Every structure is written in C-alpha cells, then in structure tokens.
C-alpha cells in the first residue's frame, strides 16, 4: 500500500543550502526553524507524520557558520480509520495523531525558512 511502501524514504532527505554568502540567514529569527521543520516533516511525509514540540540549540562556529540541534520531538502519526495494525505506528503517549496535527496547523504561520 502507499502507506507502507515508501516509509523508508520519508525522511531520507538531504537539504541543500544556498551558496555561501547568497542569503543572509542572520535576519531570520531563531524561533522560526523548529516551526519550519515541523511543517517540512508534514509535507515531506505526504501528511502522514508531523514532528512537533521541538526545542532547539543554536551552535555557531568561529567562522560564523551556525547549526541548530533540534531535540525533544513529539511525533504525530496520521492513522487510517480502518487499519487494524495502527498501534505499531504509535509514537508514545504524546502522539495525538490527526488531532495533534490539526492543533499545530491551526496556529502555524509559514515563515521565511
């Protein structure tokens, strides 16, 4: 089925960044990155998963490059109503499924990231 055959590829994504100096990331607010990643996870997984409630730590190197370490994820999984095996996809007690996704989307505003 569509739900099973491509799960291995869902998050095998290599982000490419713009050429150095071609975009000024310093103007982007740090709090935009976790929200953008949550939205990205939803779109990239074809609306089947959403990674939310992320905490981030920004690490900057001496050369001025910075990375974000995203931690403490909550994963919501879309469940098919007629699926009997859906429990194997539950991501713990914080997985609120579609309700969790809807709550995020209700308050989310796309940003520059």
pLDDT by residue (tens digit) across 4-20?
Answer: 445 555 555 555 555 65
**Does the model's pTM come out above 0.85?**
no
What tokens were used for 99?
């309700």
pLDDT of residue 25: 66
Strands (E), the chain: 49-52, 55-60, 66-71, 74-77
pLDDT by residue (tens digit) across 90-109?
Answer: 788 899 999 999 999 999 99
Q: What is the CATH number of the domain that holds 59?
A: 3.20.200.10
Look at residue 54 and tell me if it is in a domain.
yes
Look at residue 73 and tell me if it is in a domain.
yes
Average confidence score pLDDT of the chain: 79
pLDDT by residue (tens digit) across 63-98?
Answer: 988 888 889 999 999 887 655 555 555 788 899 999
Look at residue 51 and tell me if it is in a domain.
yes
Total structural domains in the chain?
1
Q: How far is CA 113 from CA 39, 90, 98, 102, in A?
A: 10, 29, 24, 21
Give the range of the structural domain holding residue 58, as residue numbers without chain letter: 27-107
């Amino acid at each position: 089925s569509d739900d099973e055959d491509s799960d291995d590829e869902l998050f095998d994504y290599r982000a490419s960044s713009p050429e150095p100096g071609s975009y000024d990331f310093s103007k982007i607010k740090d709090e935009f990155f976790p929200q953008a990643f949550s939205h990205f996870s939803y779109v990239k997984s074809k609306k089947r998963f959403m990674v939310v409630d992320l905490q981030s730590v920004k690490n900057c190197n001496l050369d001025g490059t910075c990375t974000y370490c995203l931690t403490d994820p909550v994963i919501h999984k879309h469940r098919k109503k007629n699926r009997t095996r859906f429990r194997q996809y539950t991501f713990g007690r914080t997985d609120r499924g579609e309700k969790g996704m809807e709550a995020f989307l209700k308050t989310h505003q796309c940003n520059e990231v």
